[in-house]
Structure 1
Amino acid sequence: MRKKLATAAGALLTLASAVLAAPAAAQAEPQRTAQTGTAGAAQGGTRAGTPADTQAVPGFRVADGRLLDATGRDFVLRGVNHAHTWYPARTPQALKDIKALGANSVRVVLATGDRWAKNDTADVAGVVAQCKQNRLVCVLEAHDTTGYGEQAGAVSLSRAVDYWISVKDAVRGQEKYVILNIGNEPHGNGTSGVTPWTADTKNAIGRMRAAGFAHTLMVDAPNWGQDWSFTMRDHAAEVFAADPARNTVFSVHMYGVFNTAEKVRDYLNRFTSQRLPLVVGEFGDMHSDGDPDEAAIMSTARQLGIGYLGWSWSGNGGGVEYLDMATGFDASRLTAWGRRIFSGADGIQQTAKEAGVFGGDGPVTAGCAVGYRLSDWGTSFNADVTIRNTGTTTVKGWQLAFAFPGDQRLHHVWNAKAVQQGSEVRATHESWTETIPAGGSVSFGFSGSSTGANGVPAGFTLNGAACSVS
């Protein structure tokens, strides 16, 4: 079955035309088209990767169907998508905000130069550096393949491989930090999109390996990523076996096709039962092609240890602005979808663990005490915050959470990154303040505005553990 909403498709094409005529720095995302389908049958099992298969891999690797980081620890992607190629000037702050809200990874939209202005080697290297600075695993994807065979102007996976080879120097040696998503939603609907997916994907993986890429590779499903034909599900084992490195992860995009918990659970379980590595590379809380069951997506992903990357941080257009998590790229103005994915049940803040390559299996907390010195001038104020490690273990990487006691608004922050949701504030370290030695301390500060009475927050937690207030 195939469904395509003409109004959404028309909005996409109109916006895409405007994008092609726009300067690179101002380009806007030609977001989701509405593609959907029906359910189908089951498939048998296989084992995806063993430590012996992948022991020479220098960074992320797949072992027994699980994604491991460079330290050998299980790593579950918990993050969001950011449309870098249309909003490059927004990227530095966006990555800081995404990290401050608790994500361990970000999927970054890049362009090959075929449909949108190319993100060249220098630009890609800059994105990787910013991901590392913010301790985010960087999933890089080539977007020009979206809907190939159905969408006018979309290019093949082979063309995407040409792009990766052209920017190889940007990711060479970054296998510990970078996963390469070869092409976004590389086939549309219908026979023209479904039939060649397996061969095209196997060929793309083979060319990437022949070109010397040792990274974990991510491959998207056909049917605009939603795999309603079950082509990826039923041929994933074959594709995985074709990778000489046995280091490929599969990605499904869950929108209107996955509108019930039963459909979500069945699809995800088919992969885990075969020990095939899968992530939900995109999903939302609503869509023009139906109402995805985001609660089932997030809870089932947690239960099965499957990664997810929500779409998207900000900047959506073409009638799907409701998929923005932050209004106008402002982390202090999260939408209902933004609040749901970051702080809701089974959300990022509850389930994300930082990659071991950044210093461990997530931040470690010793005993802590917090000093909060307030300088109040009525409608504006400054606060100087000192975090003291009262334990015997070094803390490397931290997040301090607290709630303002009244109607205070955060403005500028120094020596940390911070975001505010309502009265709640989450501050995370900068690179120069990330380590708190045993018996030592770090300090940061911020300015803000207030109406009515001001005061010191009643309590603080450091990496989830309560601190004394000094």
Structure 2
Amino acid sequence: MNRTLSHVASGARRTLMGSVVLFAAAAGAGLVPNGVNLQPSYYNGGNVNFGWTLMRANPKIGSVRIEVEPGMEAQAATWLAQARSNGYKAIVTYHKWTVLGTNSTYELNQAADWWKRNYSKLRASGAFRVNLMNEWGDHNLTANDYATAYNAAIATVRTVYKDTIVIDAPGWGQETAIAAAALKGYNGGVKITDTKVMPSMHVYPGSWNQGKGRWLNTSDVDDLASAGRGLIVGEFGSGGSGGADWVAITDYARSKGYSVLGWAWNGDGGYMNMVTPSWNENPTATQFSKSGYWSTIYDRL
């Protein structure tokens, strides 16, 4: 994987960074308003223009998810400050692109330790919620191992942060049944004991529910929500190939009042950028316009 965003391995959209979700109170429902993703860290050292003016002119966008690579803390603080000055609030997600889909508990604990070290520094730029780590766990991770690992990591984060923690479903955000089982503790299995957590699913054409041996579908929204923690569609978009009806799933989640966040406003290394120019082309552009991909995301918000 190179340092420009791709979105295709193992039926998963492979993102590169930790995430910050920023939200305004004007739109959407659920944990944050409906909105879009941003990935600034790989362009011009994170010194990019966001295009806030164009974003504010489109009221269905109420949140942005900004991915934060470890080592980009200073830049992330400025992103949060910009979001605050533009009327947005925030969620932040640690996202280490080299280990997406890993089952390594060491890496998940590294994420938790990152929060322990950096939460107060980021909090100085404004209040936000925490999404512990982007896309930890592959399609083969068991519910017991998922719950055991997250129990330890959540305990570390709780030393500095007391509000809702977003946790991505394993399998690059696609194994909703495994996440639900871990939250419920099925059949005497290990249970995620912290009740102030919310699972996140990522929805693309290639989204595959290996636990059920089929493409992701609308029933997986209800399955994940049955754990009683709600949910967020942390990412959705049309990139890649496969049999998952990402439009139907996203629309269904939104109809249930769950927040949906499209991939991506800017920062995708390919064509999935709602605006032009992309940061890959011109990270410091002072004017942006809608790309041909715009309606793919905006119509779902």
| Counterparts in 2 of 1:110 and 1:197: CA distance versus 1, 3 Å | same
Q: How far did 1:222 drift?
A: 0.9
Structure-1 residue corresponding to 2:230: 277
Structure-2 residue corresponding to 1:108: 66
Q: How does 1:6-405 map to 2 (within 5 A)?
A: 12=1, 15=2, 19=3, 28-29=4-5, 31-36=6-11, 75-87=31-43, 88-90=46-48, 92-102=49-59, 103-112=61-70, 118-120=71-73, 122-144=74-96, 145-149=99-103, 156-172=107-123, 177-191=127-141, 196-209=145-158, 211-227=159-175, 230-238=177-185, 242-243=193-194, 246-255=195-204, 256-257=206-207, 263-288=216-241, 290-317=242-269, 321-329=270-278, 331-336=288-293, 338-342=294-298, 344=299, 347-348=300-301
CA offsets, 1:108-136, max 9 Å, x none?
11112xxxxx112x333222211111222
Query: Which residue type is aligned with residue 222 of structure 1?
Result: P
Q: How far did 1:139 drift?
A: 2.2
CA offsets, 1:182-221, max 9 Å, x none?
1110112335x87622211111111111x22123211111
| Counterparts in 2 of 1:89 and 1:233: CA distance versus 1, 3 Å | same
Is the 8 Å Cα contact of residues 194 and 222 (structure 1) preserved in structure 2?
Answer: no
Q: How far did 1:275 drift?
A: 2.9
RMSD across aligned positions (CA): 3.0
Cα distance between partner residues in 2 of 1:157 and 1:312: 25
| Counterparts in 2 of 1:108 and 1:315: CA distance versus 1, 3 Å | closer
Is the 8 Å Cα contact of residues 137 and 146 (structure 2) preserved in structure 1?
Answer: yes
Query: Which residue type is aligned with residue 223 of structure 1?
Result: G
CA offsets, 1:411-466, max 9 Å, x none?
xxxxxxxxxxxxxxxxxxxxxxxxxxxxxxxxxxxxxxxxxxxxxxxxxxxxxxxx
Bigger relative contact order (CA 8 A; separation at least 6):
2
Unaligned runs of 5+ in 1: 1-11, 20-27, 38-68, 113-117, 349-470
Partner of 2:261: helix, strand, or coil?
strand
Query: Which residue type is aligned with residue 82 of structure 1?
Result: L
Cα distance between partner residues in 1 of 2:296 and 2:180: 28
Identity %: 26
Partner of 1:147: helix, strand, or coil?
coil
* Runs of 4+ more than 4 Å apart: 73-76, 238-241
Q: How far did 1:80 drift?
A: 1.1
Cα distance between partner residues in 2 of 1:141 and 1:75: 14
Q: How far did 1:236 drift?
A: 2.1
Structure 1 length as normaliser, TM-score? Answer: 0.50
| Counterparts in 2 of 1:101 and 1:294: CA distance versus 1, 3 Å | farther
Q: How far did 1:241 drift?
A: 5.5
Q: How far did 1:306 drift?
A: 0.7
Is the 8 Å Cα contact of residues 258 and 293 (structure 1) preserved in structure 2?
Answer: no
Query: Which residue type is aligned with residue 84 of structure 2?
Result: K
Cα distance between partner residues in 2 of 1:202 and 1:100: 41
Cα distance between partner residues in 2 of 1:308 and 1:240: 26
Structure 2 length as normaliser, TM-score? Answer: 0.76
Query: Which residue type is aligned with residue 257 of structure 1?
Result: S
Higher-Rg structure is 1
Q: How far did 1:274 drift?
A: 4.2
Q: Report the structure, 1 or 2, having the larger strand content.
A: 1
Q: How far did 1:180 drift?
A: 1.1
| Number of residue pairs matched by the alignment | 263
| Counterparts in 2 of 1:108 and 1:171: CA distance versus 1, 3 Å | same
Is the 8 Å Cα contact of residues 187 and 194 (structure 1) preserved in structure 2?
Answer: no
